[in-house]
Amino acid sequence: MKLILLGPPGAGKGTQAKLLVQKFAIPQISTGDILRAAVKDGTPMGVKAKSFMDAGGLVPDEVVVGIVKERLQKDDCSNGFILDGFPRTLPQADALQDTLKSLDKNLDAVISLEVDIEALVERLTGRRSCPACGAGFHVKYEPPKQDGICDKCGAALIQRDDDREETIRNRMQVYQDQTLPLVTYYQQAGLLSKVDGMLPIGEVTVLIDALLKGLR
């Protein structure tokens, strides 16, 4: 199962990827998560990425392509993987094709989560994440049992630095300008399936399940 989850900020890529990880025992490769960990650890890559991320812009292609190339070669990707937030530009998509070719692998599907951009601001401003175990929540749509506390490990939940309204607007614009062309790119490659990402989380999962069953 070699998948890409495509969609704008807040579409539900991370939420659905985590559910697929449990179901298929394949890794989620989120370039956003990898970059945030690098920023937190203060690595040279993190220092370089931070200003782009804080502004809601994209980290340079060569940085993220390098991350994904290295990650796809790890043993845990041998049965498949879920790419979440990569590729995000046409050069990244081309680089992914080259990398997969060199590893003798093919993509099985690209799932585009179709959402109404206006709903996304509420999703992102209400998002809470666990800094300890990575679990995701939403104050309204996926609330933790105890306010501000992770259900899974008990750590205090945090809000992402780039989930401020003005940064969200920039991220949406960047998505429209640089990432949206990938929908056509993968449509032309015969790999794209659209899923209604406006439905409740569980219903989106059911649609993705049905789609993946059709592939197998």
**Catalytically annotated residues:** 13, 88, 127, 160, 171
Site for ligand AP5 in 105-134 (CB under 6 A): 123-124, 126-127
Q: Are 86 and 170 in contact (CB under 8 A)?
A: no
Q: Which is nearer to ligand AP5, 191 or 201 (CB)?
A: 201
Residue labelled with tokens 């809000």: 159
12 binds, among ligand AP5, Mg ion, none (CB under 5 to 8 A by kind): ligand AP5
Mask for 10-49, x = binds Mg ion (CB under 5 A): ----x-----------------------------------
87 Cβ contact partners less than 8 Å away, ≥ 6 residues apart? 4, 93, 95, 96, 182
Q: How many CB atoms lie within 10 A of CB 86?
A: 23
25: CB partners within 8 A, 6+ apart: 79
Window 51-90: contact mask with ligand AP5 (x via CB under 6 A): -xx--xxxx----x--------------------xx-x--
- Binding residue for ligand AP5 (CB under 6 A) from 39, 50, 81, 138? 138
31: amino acid identity, one letter: T
- Does the protein bind ligand AP5 through residue 27 (CB under 6 A)? no
Is the distance from CB of 57 to CB of 174 less than 8 angstroms? yes
Of 11 and 82, CB closest to ligand AP5: 11
| Displacement of CA 22 from its chain's centroid (Å) | 16
Q: With contacts defined by CB under 6 A, how many residues of the chain interact with ligand AP5?
A: 37
Q: Which of 101, 97, 74 is nearest to 86 (CA)?
A: 97
DSSP letter at 49 equals H
CA 156 from chain center: how many Å?
A: 23
CB of 25 to ligand AP5, least distance (A): 20
Cβ distance to ligand AP5 smaller for residue 10 or 104? 10
Site of interaction with ligand AP5 (CB under 6 A): 7, 9-15, 31-32, 35, 52-53, 56-59, 64, 85-86, 88, 92, 123-124, 126-127, 136-138, 141-142, 162, 171, 197, 200-201, 204
